[in-house]
Amino acid sequence: MPNAQYFYNPAGGSTRINFNFTYAPNTGQLFVLKNGSHVVVPYDYVEPDPAYIDFTSSFITGDKVIVQVFTVIPANKPEIFNLAALTTRINLANITYTLGRYELEVTKNGLMLFVDSDYTEISNKIFDLKNPALPGDRVVVRSLKASPISNL
């Protein structure tokens, strides 16, 4: 669970979201949704400064952005897989999890996947997708292990 969550309605044509808090850029501390889809650094937005993020394309009037803030711990940095071939097995390099504890957040092309219905946990570093990822798909995995942030 995030330690804090913020909602934004950016102006059409803009690319920047200014925060009333600070974070540690490029550490996996932020989980960002645009119109309900997960967006990822550096493809969809960049984290150049502790007080804001810049999107790589302009907002359209009516866009909605949700920013969830997590504690910075090594397990919170997402692993991103930009797949070049048909793939069902995902081997994690830096994230470990406990099977059956719902400790992973997995998205494929920005859509949330769910354990058991969309993927099967094989070991504490491996899971299998029930529907293969295709070449060009992006799978993002984040550990949900977090502890409270005291300054938010």
For the segment 32-46, what is each residue's pLDDT rounded down to a tens digit?
Answer: 999 989 898 888 999
The order of strands in the sheet holding 30-34 is: 4-8, 65-69, 30-34, 37-39
CA distance 33 to 56: 14
Distance of CA 93 to the CA centre of its chain: 16
At 25, is the pLDDT very low, low, confident or very high (cuts 50, 70, 90)?
confident
Chain segment 61-77, per-residue pLDDT in tens: 999 999 998 875 544 57
Name residues whose C-beta falls within 8 Å of residue 53's C-beta, 6 or more positions apart in sequence: 16, 17, 19, 30, 32, 45, 46, 47, 67
Q: pTM of the full predicted structure?
A: 0.54
* Segment 117-132, tens digit of pLDDT: 999 999 999 999 999 9
Question: What is the pLDDT confidence band of residue 11, given thresholds at 50, 70 and 90?
Answer: very high
